[in-house]
């Protein structure tokens, strides 16, 4: 979230993207960890057009990695998402990237 806030601050992406992302995080906090995990796996499966079983296996493999590796991956994912948002038309905010 900090990296997204920085991108908004310097005008790289619209502020409504940060607000939308914060709202999604708030909504996910209201769910059980199991439900959040299931929803995320489903979203990834749909986005990548992959069987849910492969997504679940990939997520399990990532979760088994040391914390430093997981954090590095999260930073890279955030940067790729931001790149997609920067490339999106200014008038049409995108959730995915």
Residue 93, in any domain of the structure? no
Confidence (pTM): 0.59
Q: Is the pLDDT of residue 83 over 60?
A: yes
Residue 56, in any domain of the structure? yes
Tens digits of per-residue pLDDT, 21-57?
788 878 878 888 888 889 889 998 998 899 999 999 9
Residue 95, in any domain of the structure? no
Measured distance CA(15)–CA(20) in Å, rounded: 9
Measured distance CA(49)–CA(24) in Å, rounded: 22
Q: How far is CA 19 from the centre of its chain?
A: 14
Residue 94, in any domain of the structure? no
Structurally, the chain folds into a number of domains equal to 1
Average pLDDT over residues 9-22: 82
Residue 60, in any domain of the structure? yes
Q: Taking each helix axis from N to C terminus, what angle separates 15-29 and 2-9, rounded to the nearest 10 degrees?
A: 160
């Amino acid at each position: 979230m900090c990296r997204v806030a920085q991108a908004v601050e310097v005008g790289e992406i619209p502020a409504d993207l940060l607000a939308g992302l914060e709202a999604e995080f708030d909504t996910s906090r209201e769910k059980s960890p199991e439900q959040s995990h299931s929803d995320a796996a489903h979203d990834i499966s749909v986005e990548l057009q992959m069987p849910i079983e492969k997504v679940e296996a990939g997520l399990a493999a990532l979760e088994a990695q040391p914390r430093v590796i997981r954090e590095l991956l999260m930073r890279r994912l955030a940067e790729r998402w931001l790149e997609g948002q920067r490339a999106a038309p200014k008038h049409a905010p995108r959730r995915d990237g």
